[in-house]
Amino acid sequence: MIARIQGYCFGGGLELAAACDVRIAAGTASFGMQEVKLGIPSVIEAALLPTLVGWGRAREIMLLGERFGAAEALAWRLVEHVVPAAGLDAAVEAWIGKLLTSAPRAVRLQKRLIRQWEDLPLAAAIDAGMAAFAQAYATDEPAIAMRGFLAARQRRKPSQ
């Protein structure tokens, strides 16, 4: 899931963005978790903020309830990309295009594995990774992708 962030990204909107795999924001976007200003705590997906920005920055965002811009969101690792507002759609489309060059089943396995890693200690995360690697070879997708990779490499090789 890709969060395309333009304009205001407050409260539940920021929680939804935090739950996405990648966040691409317009340089004019504005962020904040202002619930404390309204007398209520941030909940549910707000719990994802520390994994993105660290505990100290998550505390700052949720306890102070202040607005911040796209440049801060990028510096704090809340978003992965900031682009001019006029180029937001093109940036999202470019990311999708790059993603579509990957093998679909492998992307699904990787996404599931990343979610597992978020909750597992290191040894269990490695075990889960090995199981996902084995699952990838349950189909012919790796062989097909490797043949395509090698063919493209051969085409780029200069003549002897």
Q: What residues act catalytically?
A: 15, 35
Contact yes or no for 53/18 (Cβ under 8 A) = no
Question: How remote is the C-alpha of 84 from its chain's centroid?
Answer: 19
125: its two tokens = 């995360």
Give which of 102, 101, 82, 104 is closest to 91, Cα–Cα. Answer: 82
Rounded Cα gap, residues 31 and 43, in angstroms: 16
Cα–Cα distance list, 90 to 83, 96, 135, 141, 156 (Å):
10, 10, 34, 29, 28
Rounded Cα gap, residues 45 and 115, in angstroms: 14
